[in-house]
Amino acid sequence: MSKNLKIFLGISYLLILFTFLYFVFTGIEINRLDNFSYYKELQADLETFISSNIAINLIYFFIFAIIWVSLLGFGSPILIFSGILFGQWLGTAVSVISISIGALVLYALGNFFFRDIVKTILEKKFKRYIHLFQKNEFYYFFIYRFSGGLGVPFGLQNLIPVLFGMKKTNYFFASFFGFIPGFFILNTIGAGMNSYIEQAEYFNMIDLIITPEIYLPILMFAGLMIISLLIKKFFFDDTNR
């Protein structure tokens, strides 16, 4: 592939991304973001809209999540959002499946079109991980996903396997099963936020935090972060190999 073609594809990709983000965020009334009643209105409207045809809306979200992730979108916001829309269980299911597919699409695009660029940018930084993944790519990538990517931004997490040419089936299933714990926690937080907005008359940070639907998953998330640090120390730290 010629250098000019790669540049053209890269610019086209970025234009699609920013156009997509523009249409997503133009529907938000930014000047009302500090008004709690605005969130109650949004919550009520979303509740009515989702319940009117949940199957169709699941499909819409599914497609949106795939596109969002394949365009290097952040993971956490869409997980909170899926919890708000569909609750902790259904939200977890649809987000795990759709985001796993979206990540696979991004990996396939990066591996096919931008392999040289990805290697130039990431290879030196993540060189210490490559030989581990090459030993057993499914096992180590599953651990990597389970631990939340060890602090690496979500978009980059999805592209790291380009460095060692991971099999697509291993990529998908290691991502799918590794995503479940963290995704469930964030969807639970989203569902708890939805319940709080529905029931509260005004916003109070302390009331929000001490709500069981919020502080319990936050504690679970903190526990997962501790596990992530231990995993990084015992599996990915150079001093332990």
Shortest CA distance to 188 belongs to which of 207, 152, 212?
212
**pLDDT of the chain along its 241 residues, tens only?**
456 656 666 676 677 667 766 766 676 666 665 666 666 777 777 777 787 888 898 998 899 889 888 877 777 888 888 988 898 899 999 999 999 999 999 888 888 777 777 777 777 777 777 777 878 888 888 888 888 777 778 878 888 888 887 889 999 999 999 999 889 989 998 888 888 877 777 777 777 777 777 878 888 888 877 877 777 777 666 544 4
Question: What's the pLDDT at 239?
Answer: 45
Question: What's the pLDDT at 39?
Answer: 66
Spatial distance between the Cα atoms of 47 and 45, rounded to a whole number of angstroms: 5
Spatial distance between the Cα atoms of 41 and 57, rounded to a whole number of angstroms: 19
Shortest CA distance to 121 belongs to which of 69, 67, 162?
162
106 Cβ neighbours under 8 A, 6+ residues apart: 69, 70, 71, 72, 155, 158, 159
SS3 152: coil
Spatial distance between the Cα atoms of 226 and 217, rounded to a whole number of angstroms: 14
Spatial distance between the Cα atoms of 6 and 144, rounded to a whole number of angstroms: 30
Buried-state track 41-61, b at ≥16 Cβ within 10 A, e below 16: eebeebeeebeeeeeebbeeb
Question: What's the pLDDT at 175?
Answer: 92
Residue recorded with tokens 């569902």: 191
Decide if 129 contacts 208 (C-beta within 8 A).
no
Spatial distance between the Cα atoms of 156 and 163, rounded to a whole number of angstroms: 11
Decide if 202 contacts 221 (C-beta within 8 A).
no
Shortest CA distance to 194 belongs to which of 31, 44, 32?
44
Spatial distance between the Cα atoms of 208 and 194, rounded to a whole number of angstroms: 11
